Amino acid sequence: MDNVLSIKDIRKDYGKFHVLKGVSLDIPRGAIFGLVGRNGAGKTTLMRIITGLAEPKSGTYSIGGILNTDRKILNNRRRMGSIIESPAVYRNLSAYDNIKLQYINLGMTSFDDIPELLELVDLQGTGKKKAGKFSLGMKQRLGIAVALCGKPDILVLDEPINGLDPQGIIQMREILLRINHERHTTILISSHILEELSKLATHYAFIEKGEILQTLSSVELMSKVRKASRLHVTSTELLCPVFDREGIEYKVEDDSLMDIFSDVTASKIVNLATSAGVEVISIADNNESLEGYFMNLVAKKDGIS
Ligand code: ATP
């Protein structure tokens, strides 16, 4: 597969602290690739490295097939637009002038498509209003427009939905989908909220304590999320030994609620419950949440599951 960005065994230390412990990732062209990890997992550090803001201790990465150790990477960096930590916008300039300045910095001489770019990020009609007076969401969207000025193949966004209100999150999601669909820009986006990324990502990598726990496509993720049935019964305590004997995987919520993860028919559940003197009040689908799936992966790494 054609990868816009390939990361091979990247390591990074801060003093004695191993922040990245050999991270390898391939970002396929056209993907919206979600990098998911809790606070402190190493997402920003990895993004700082691939955007050239920090040097790895060891390991390599290539952008469009050019290795970071090759001098040609300096030109190829133009193939990458990014927002790391906060958007680089000039507070005293309007949205139009921020973009124009970036065009000038990139040596572009025609400003004809600036209105189109403003429209793409939903900032048309902001006129002379200075970016310093923008809401956080508007600043983020302007940052994205600035990052898109050089028509990059890949956009690297570090937690772009952090701090946005629900309306701002929806707007950001729609804009990123448009950028991906209309401009065919590959997007690498980090977040600690898997549920939010799941509305746009085509691929995922889960990172924890500087290590990639798993990479998979959204289709694979959806098929892996554990299917569960929630039982409402008169006693979970009496049912547990029966399920243990039958090898049925379960999780107890409280005295009367439990989830079972095995593929068991409703009639078998009722029969087993009856044999234990337990009444089944209801059985309903209660599939594992994406957040639950991720936390389960993390728990397995920590050896507590
Ligand atoms: P967050 O969402 O909180 O930013 P993150 O996944 O982006 O989390 P990083 O910012 O990459 O994580 O940080 C990873 C770890 O490295 C954290 O424990 C952080 O404290 C530490 N760290 C980051 N930058 C430095 C630095 N310059 N010096 C020392 N430690 C650092």
All structural domains of the chain with their residue ranges = 3-224, 229-287
CB-facing half-sphere around the CA of 31: CA atoms within 13 A? 26
Protein residue closest via CA to atom 27 of ligand 1: 14
> What CATH number belongs to 3-224?
3.40.50.300
Q: What residues does 12 pair with on adjacent strands?
A: 20
At residue 263, the pLDDT reads 83
Backbone angles phi, psi at 172, to 5 degrees: -60, -45
Lowest mean pLDDT among 158-167, 171-180, 222-231, 237-246: 222-231
287 has pLDDT over 80: no
103 has pLDDT over 80: yes
Protein residue closest via CA to atom 19 of ligand 1: 40
- Write down the pTM of the prediction: 0.83
| Closest ligand 1 atom number to CA of residue 41 | 6
| Alpha carbon of 304 to ligand 1 centroid (Å) | 24
Q: How confident is the model at residue 216 (pLDDT cuts 50, 70, 90)?
A: very high
Give 219: exposed, middle or buried? Use CB within 10 Å, 0-12, 13-18, 19+.
exposed
What's the CA gap between 156 and 35, in Å, rounded?
10
| Closest ligand 1 atom number to CA of residue 48 | 11
What mean pLDDT do residues 275-302 have? 87
Ramachandran bin of 200, using left for φ above 0, alpha for ψ from -120 to 50, beta for the remaining angles: alpha
- CATH topology (fold) of 229-287: Alpha-Beta Plaits (3.30.70)
**Is residue 45 in contact with ligand 1, taking CB distance under 6 Å?**
yes
The DSSP annotation for 89-102 comes to --TTSBHHHHHHHH
At residue 304, the pLDDT reads 55
Q: How confident is the model at residue 305 (pLDDT cuts 50, 70, 90)?
A: very low
262 has pLDDT over 90: no
**Is residue 42 in contact with ligand 1, taking CB distance under 6 Å?**
yes
Q: What is the pLDDT of residues 36-52, one digit of tens each?
A: 999 999 999 999 999 99
What's the CA gap between 281 and 299, in Å, rounded?
32
Q: What is the pLDDT of residues 159-211, one digit of tens each?
A: 998 888 888 999 999 999 999 999 999 999 999 888 888 889 999 999 999 99
257 has pLDDT over 90: yes
| Alpha carbon of 162 to ligand 1 centroid (Å) | 16
Could you tell me the strand order of the sheet in which 257-260 lies? 250-252, 257-260, 229-233, 280-285
| Alpha carbon of 42 to ligand 1 centroid (Å) | 6
At residue 1, the pLDDT reads 59
